[in-house]
Amino acid sequence: MAAGTSRKISAASARSHTRRAKQSSGLTLPSGIFPGVLLVVLAGLVAWGYQAIQPPPPKICGSSDGPLVTASRIKLRDGRHLAYREHGVSKDVAKIKVVFIHGFDVCRLDDVIANYTSPELVEELGIYFVSYDRPGYGESDPHPSRTVKSQVSDIEELADQLGLGSKFYLIGYSLGGQLGWGCLKYIPHRLAGVTLLTPASNYWWPGFPSNLSTEALYKHPPCDYWSLRVAHYAPWLTHWWNTQNWFPILGAISKSPHILSREDKEVVAKLIAKGVDNMVIFLCEHVRQQGEYESLHRDLNVGFGNWEFDPVEMENPFTNNEVSVHLWQGDEDILVPAILQRYIAERHSSWIQYHELAGSGHFFPYLDGMADTIVKTMLNDKE
């Protein structure tokens, strides 16, 4: 029997052989799996992001899961409901009929002019006021296709259904004052007189010099500066931006004290001393009860989005100056900087009467006696 051959294997060679064996026995991933995993991860992130920016559906007043209807309402031609509140003398005997447009994050209940005009003046002049909830606010149905023009149509239809006659007076405050420009544009033939109280300016109206609108925008606290830019450039992000917790949101939504001037803080303190703070809490809950998106966020998107016309470039809608237009502004207003109002007033000096109040902020209509002054000024040319 032949003797077998023997082989000597070095220690280094044995270790090398063992490593190759271990390597060959490891898990081998299929070719191209990493791009597939990356695609799945990206798709998941996109789906998550899309869900994060989607606002919840509104809770319509009067629906099975919505708030109760407690206000007087009219039904508009498109089927929506508009809630309103009447003040002053009966419209059947009124000599003066006024439609009030509320501002941002308030509702028909916060008609500062009707609430603060002295009863003696209301009776003496025979004034009837009606304030209403703009779409999505309070108890008025949301309007997903809301525009400046559609909101003006709401006002005209409200006046018609309430029988206010061929002409009525208009008072708009803050973001409601901004809507007053729409009334001047689209229904000047229905207006007996117009008063705009610190109307919010859209910083992207083309007629503003770019350096002036930029200066005005930077006068805002950073939280407002960025919130307004989001509403203009990325309106689909407005809901997410003003509900997230990573960055400061719009000061008017968070009720930040940084948006108040010295006089505004004094006004607020007096209101609280009178017990109005509980009413303010109620108003916030009532204002937003159908959802913040259809009230606050859509309001921002419309007010600071791309408009159908430019108020800065408007022609005088009253060729014979038969209607008086008054614009009131506090020179220390932080919410609505005065520099843009001055520019508009100067451009339209032939048909707009400008009243700038030294030392006043955004809440000057709440000052003692101010509502009477505003009403008397509005009616002065008719007396």
CATH number at residue 103: 3.40.50.1820
* Between residues 275 and 353, the one the model is more confident about: 353
Kindly state the percentage of the chain with pLDDT values over 90.
75
Residue 210 has pLDDT above 60, yes or no: yes
More confidently predicted of 111 and 35: 111
pLDDT digits (tens, 9 = 90+) for 153-176: 999 999 999 999 999 999 999 999
Residue closest to 178 by CA, chosen among 191, 194, 196, 163? 196
> Does the pLDDT of residue 302 top 70, yes or no?
yes
Strands of 93-166, DSSP E: 96-101, 127-132
Domain that holds residue 331: 72-382
Separation between Cα atoms, residue 364 and residue 329, nearest integer Å? 9
Strand 81-88 relative to strand 72-75, pairing: antiparallel
- Confirm if 142 and 154 have CB atoms less than 8 A apart: no
pLDDT of residue 202: 97
Three-state DSSP class for residue 207: coil
Whether the Cβ atoms of residue 361 and residue 331 lie closer than 8 Å to each other: no
Q: Round to whole Å and give the CA distance between 124 and 166.
A: 23
Asked whether residue 51 is assigned to any structural domain, the reply reads: no
Q: Is position 10 within any domain?
A: no
**Which residue, 150, 39, 164, is CA-closest to 91?**
164
Q: Which residues contact 293 (CB under 8 A, 6 or more apart)?
A: 55, 56, 58, 239
**Does 289 map to a domain?**
yes
Query: Where is pLDDT greater, at 275 or 8?
Result: 275
**Beta-carbon contacts of residue 141 (< 8 Å; ≥ 6 apart):** 60, 61, 80, 81, 82, 135
Q: Does the residue 18 lie in any domain?
A: no
Cα 152 from Cα 158, distance rounded (Å):
10
Tell me the C-alpha to C-alpha distance, in Å, between residue 362 and each of 67, 166, 272, 334.
Answer: 31, 32, 17, 7
Burial of 307 (0-12, 13-18, 19+ CB in 10 A): buried
Q: Return the pLDDT at 276.
A: 61
Contact yes or no for 196/211 (Cβ under 8 A)? no
Q: Above 80 in pLDDT, residue 1?
A: no
Q: What is the pLDDT of residue 44?
A: 61
Residue type, 88: G
123 pLDDT more than 50: yes
Contacts of 196 (CB under 8 A, 6+ apart): 172, 177, 180, 181, 325, 326, 327, 328
Question: Helices 210-218 and 222-233 meet at what angle, rounded to 10?
Answer: 130
Strands (E), the chain: 72-75, 81-88, 96-101, 127-132, 168-173, 191-197, 325-330, 352-357
Evaluate whether 110 touches 174 at the Cβ level (below 8 Å). no
Which of the residue ranges 23-27, 101-105, 270-274, 355-359 would you say has the lowest mean pLDDT?
A: 23-27
Can you read off the two tokens belonging to residue 217?
């925008």
Asked whether the beta carbons of 300 and 227 are under 8 A apart, the reply is yes
Strands 127-132 and 168-173: unpaired
Phi-psi region of 135 (alpha: psi -120 to 50; beta: other; left: phi over 0): beta
Mean pLDDT, to the nearest integer, of 79-108? 96
In order of 84, 100, 209, 238, the CA distances from 109 in angstroms are 9, 11, 37, 26
User: How many domains are contained in the chain?
Assistant: 1
* Start-to-end CA span in the chain (Å): 139
CA 100 to chain centre: 17
What percent of the chain stands above pLDDT 70? Answer: 83
What Rg value do the Cα atoms of the chain yield, rounded? Answer: 30
In a domain, 59, yes or no: no
Nearest-angstrom CA–CA distance, 231 and 308: 16
In-domain check, residue 148: yes
On average, the pLDDT of the chain sits at: 88
